Amino acid sequence: MTDQYTFQDPTTQYRKPGPEFQEQQGGPGLEQDMAVQPDAGEQTYRGTGRLTGRKAIVTGADSGIGRAAAIALAREGADIVLSYLPEEEADAQEVVQLVEKAGRTAVALPGDLKDEAYCTQLVDSAVERLGGLDLLVNVAGKQQQVPEIADLTTEQFDATFRTNVYAMFWLCKAAIAVMPPGSSIINTSSVQAYSPSPILLDYATTKGAINVFSKALAQQVAERGIRVNVVAPGPVWTPLQVAGGQPAEALAEFGAQAPLGRPAQPAEMAPAYVFLASAESNYVTGEVLNANGGMPTP
């Protein structure tokens, strides 16, 4: 079986999109219900102990990139507080089992990131249940395609910003208050911050905000020994895409526009988070690591 260290052709490493790439009705979407299951590294990620003893929060930990990050962090030695929506419990319990199988502590804490009190509770739980917090990985995001601004409601615009930007702010603010020197914050942007799709007006705007917020915060907390960086994925095959993130008719070609000719799998994003979390990247802060299959960025 291959793993993340196996030499292979990235253009053929995973399947290309096709008609079997189907949508789900309504959000947020469950990985278990996807016709084509993503690879989050369940069978392929092999840890090397780079995060032994670390204490982390991962949002969106039930599926997609958050799931892959949680699996990788656990196999690298971190204990984790897992954040996800209550309706995603079935997917989240699979991740809990994988974290525990890796010999690490998994604290499952469902809730809504649009609620500031819940964000604060995540940090408090890390301190109480894990004995501290030195790694915050903000992955959870809201993405719903709307072709025309006339149809983009204030309610959706607000929910997208509260999920993608406000929650990041609340979590960073609470986390920095308890983080020791050497800690790392990793936020999640997107190629949408550089090449926005017209159907993702609100989502793309939040991703640009995440980049700027992270660069400013990195400078603010550098003297405290806390690093802040960003991972900016390109098209990644996750439940976010099939539950309203993309038009149903576009799913069969999802990711084909990338120079590598296919969407990424969540497992391919995980090493970026591990690198930015580990001491290997101790001189890297305020940076955006683009993992987008070759799509040009500034």
Helix residue ranges, H only, the chain = 64-75, 89-101, 116-125, 154-161, 167-176, 201-221, 239-240, 266-277
d(CA 56, CA 184): 9
Residue at token pair 């052709």: 9
- Could you give the CA distance from residue 254 to residue 237 in angstroms, rounded to a whole number? 8
Structure tokens at 208: 């640009």
Q: Is 26 exposed, middle or buried (0-12, 13-18, 19+ CB in 10 A)?
A: exposed
Q: How far apart are CA 44 and CA 192, in angstroms?
A: 28
Cis peptide before 28 (omega within 30 of 0): yes
- Cα separation of 29 and 22, whole Å? 12
**By the 8 A CB rule, do 212 and 271 touch?**
no
DSSP at 179? P
**113 Cα distance to chain centroid:** 14
DSSP 59: E
What is the set of active-site residues? 203
Q: Rounded CA gap, 296 and 131, in Å? A: 42
- Token digits for 219? 């400078």
- Both tokens of 269, joined, read 């994003």
